Amino acid sequence: MYAYAPLLQALGGHIVSCDEMTGVQALERIAATQPMRPGRVERREFEYKRHGTLSPIVTFDIVTGQVLGAACGPTRTEADFAAHIASTIDSDPEAVWVFVADQLNTHQSESLVRLVAQRCGVADDLGVKGESGILHSLSSRAAFLSDPTHRIQFVYVPKHTSWLNQVEIWFSILVRRVIKRGNFTSLDDLRMRILDFIAYFNQTAKPFRWTYTGRPLVA
């Protein structure tokens, strides 16, 4: 899929990686951090105030290496994820979109099925969640969302292989550069720091050099 991404982009489509971070805390140190000096390491206060948490939902472009969009709200519900996907599609509403995601239940939800059906012009009866049709179960919804004949398709990585999802690499960069050593006075402060970092990151973004080819990691 990643190898195919440049060709699809040349044809006007997009292969993107998406996921969310849960419970990112806005922590404020109760005393100022003492910066490094000759012969002395940086010293950080261990006590802090909690100002709540955010759950950023991010879409990462495989080809450009840029973050296409981020929703930095307090929750990551089914509705939150579907709204983020809709916003991403709206950036190029007539294009082909392929979303690489893990198998979290909110990534295989009724809201997502209805969104894809509406955007792809699927007029079939979707059924009733928990009872019948496409909406019947998690597996039936996943099968519909991963249908390659749809203009909007989800490709799910196997369970316990979230490392195959490239946005996880970007999340690790965000943690190292912004969150781990950050000091945030409020949720708005945390939100703005994340969005400012995305804007900065996108200015010089390059695609990740993906070398894994599917070879089994164990015999």
- Say if residue 58's pLDDT is above 70: yes
pLDDT digits (tens, 9 = 90+) for 102-144: 999 999 999 999 999 999 999 989 999 999 999 999 999 999 9
The mean pLDDT of the chain is 93
* Residues 6+ away with beta carbon under 8 Å from 198: 67, 70
Of 207, 147, 212, residue with least CA distance to 16: 207
Q: For residue 175, give the DSSP letter.
A: I
Handedness of CA 55, 53, 72, 192 (dihedral sign): negative
Tens digit of each residue's pLDDT (9 = 90 or more) over 69-103: 899 999 999 999 999 999 999 999 999 999 999 99
The pTM assigned to this predicted structure is 0.91
DSSP state letter for 136: S
Under a CB-based contact definition with an 8 Å cutoff, are residues 29 and 48 in contact?
A: yes
User: What's the one-letter identity of residue 199?
Assistant: A
Residue 40, helix vs strand vs coil: strand
pLDDT for 209 beyond 80: yes
